[in-house]
Amino acid sequence: MTAAANLTSACGPRIEFDGIDLTLGRTRILENVRFSVAPGSVHAIVGPNGGGKSSLIKTLLGQMPHQGQLTLHWPGEREVIGYVPQALEFDRGLPMTVDDFMAAMCQRRPAFLGLSRRVRPAIDAALARVGMLDKRKRRMGALSGGERQRVLLAQGLIPEPQLLVLDEPMSALDEAGIQVFEQLLHGWRQAGTTVLWIEHDLEAVLRLADRVTGLSRQVLFDAPPAQALTPERLLGLFSVHPRSESLA
Amino acid sequence: MSFESFRQLVQDWATAGYLPEALAYGFVVNALLAGLMIGPVLGGLGTLVVVKRFAFFSEAVGHAALTGVAIGILLGEPYTGPYGSLFGYCLLFGILLNFLRNRTGLSPDTLIGVFLSVSLALGASLLLMLAGKINVHILENVLFGSVLTVSAHDLLVLAIVAVLVLALALPLYNRIMLASFNPQLAAVRGVAVKTLDYLFVVLVTLVTVASVKVIGAILVGALLVIPAAAARLVSQSLKGFFFVSVIIATLSTLLGILLPIVFDLPVPSGAAIILVAGVCFALAALARALVPRLQGNPA
């Protein structure tokens, strides 16, 4: 199903980045970034390390002071954003089970008192969707990187988001995890969720995304993956160091 | 029933032989009541101190209390409870430290080291300037705690702080923890990360200052760290982590107050409390070494 086909049923927002500039210290991170994300589409962002992908996400999530216009056009009153980070900063020896982590994410009741009756069904369903239901009593620090990534995906499902921001969700996933991710992506597409997805795996982007933006401080291309991911464009995207130009 | 009549009732029961003999003394009842408040609050908050890696910070705030006491005496506050200066100076210390934490480019432990040293130098200078005005035992009480000096006023301050800390920390427990795991994810989930950081600093400071009377400035930070560290060694879930920490902190406080009295040992309460907590930590480490199940699940 294409992004265009989703337009009528989409519950996710349209996102418009219009001339976004971001400067940190004397380094220009983003320069006149201009593209839009169609509602209900799976939109990938690719680019070299230091190209501004994560900064763009932080800007979208309202955590970076920027110049330019960033607009989210929500279709209704409900405005729920889900976010799946690349990793968590926590002490691997911390006695925190998968259930504890999900409770800390999704409920107000202190996680050490266990799952609340209200959120338990949603947490059960989310863990089942990522195939982690049987490992819910495991400590987070004892999970493999791929399993931890699945738990991060599970927290992104609660509450059901209309816009989902994924920061390299496939980086630690094994083959089974990749299948789980693809099923989730299929589900989000069916539900009309707008997905903004930072990814390094260009083959996965080609296969799974509706549209891809190449970002290296500036937008170098913005098109459907089959058109955008040509050898010439990728060479241009990854051959120039994005931070080589700093402010005078 | 008023506090005074409750304490008298406990003393009467102890005199009649229904309760341990030590409880016949009013100051022991006061100290144990203080311990019953300090233990659970420090033990519970300590789990967040360990999760957020704030152990060195809590030690530093405890040490800052020494300077707070010196300032209080200098300003003419009663030397038995200079709470205005204690809370004022320690809150200023904690908030300024947190403010500079992300602005100097220095790692948190380096910055805390600088603050701690300067604050101790200031406190030591002031106390020596005041040496002629105060009894040296007051300094000993401030440094290492004393059960003899816990008054009904101290208990009231402690009760107010304990209720305030529990009322704020329990509903915000998940959010405080989440903010340390990934600030960006926390912000997306509606957590005011920076505000919560300041709030946590304030809570740690309040409970530390309120506990100085019993545990002492030098050792109060340790009761935020040792029980939680011991609990972390033997727990497999947050539930175990929290409640084992609370139990160890409470047990350490009560035993640390009672043992020197029962065995007539010339040991300050703070030192005894931390020694009991240290024994619990050693036992937890031993249990972890001997019981493979406590070492965590295989990956």
Provide the number of structural domains found in chain B: 1
Tell me: the pLDDT tens digits for B156-192? 999 999 999 999 999 999 999 999 999 899 999 999 9
Task: Give Cα B169 to chain centroid, integer Å.
Answer: 15
Q: Tokens 């948190």 belong to which residue?
A: B108
Phi and psi (nearest 5°) for A194? -80, 125
The reply to whether B23 falls in a domain is no
Residue B1 has a pLDDT of: 65
Whether residue B180 and residue A89 make contact (CB cut-off 8 A), yes or no, is yes
Candidates B171, B177, B299; nearest CB to A143: B299
CA distance A226 to chain B (A): 32
Give the residue, B181 or B138, on which the prediction is more confident: B181
- What is the rounded average pLDDT for all residues in chain B? 89
Candidates B184, B238, B296; nearest CB to A100: B238
Whether residue B299 and residue A142 make contact (CB cut-off 8 A), yes or no, is yes
Tell me: the pLDDT tens digits for A25-77? 888 899 999 999 999 999 999 998 888 998 999 999 988 888 999 999 999 88
Q: What share of chain A is helix, strand, coil (3-state, %, to 5)?
A: 35, 25, 40
CA distance A231 to chain B (A): 34
Residue B176 has a pLDDT of: 95
CA distance B86 to chain A (A): 31
The reply to whether B8 falls in a domain is no
Q: Tokens 């910055």 belong to which residue?
A: B111
The reply to whether B102 falls in a domain is yes
Distances (CA, A) of B1 to A22, A63, B4, B6, B151: 64, 53, 8, 6, 18
From B186, which residue of chain A is nearest by alpha-carbon distance? A105
The reply to whether B283 falls in a domain is yes
Q: What is the 3-state secondary structure (H, E, C) of A151-185?
A: HHHHHCCCCCCCEEEEECCCCCCCHHHHHHHHHHH
Domains of chain A: 11-46+63-210+219-244 (3.40.50.300)
Whether residue A82 and residue B188 make contact (CB cut-off 8 A), yes or no, is yes
Question: Is 90 exceeded by the pLDDT of residue B135?
Answer: no
CATH number at residue B169: 1.10.3470.10
The reply to whether B10 falls in a domain is no
The reply to whether B118 falls in a domain is yes
Whether residue B184 and residue A85 make contact (CB cut-off 8 A), yes or no, is yes
CA distance B227 to chain A (A): 14
Tell me: the pLDDT tens digits for A190-201? 999 999 999 988
* A-B C-beta contacts closer than 8 Å: 99
Whether residue B296 and residue A104 make contact (CB cut-off 8 A), yes or no, is no
Bridge pairing between strands A211-216 and A42-46: parallel
Q: What is the ipTM of this complex?
A: 0.87
- The C-alpha atoms of residue B81 and residue B213 are separated, in whole angstroms, by 8
B242 interaction partners in chain A (CB closer than 8 Å): 110, 112
As a whole-number percent, the residues of chain B with pLDDT over 90 amount to 55
Task: Give Cα B234 to chain centroid, integer Å.
Answer: 22
Average pLDDT over residues A101-112: 95
Whether residue B297 and residue A138 make contact (CB cut-off 8 A), yes or no, is yes
A100 interaction partners in chain B (CB closer than 8 Å): 237-239
Range of the domain at B190: 30-295
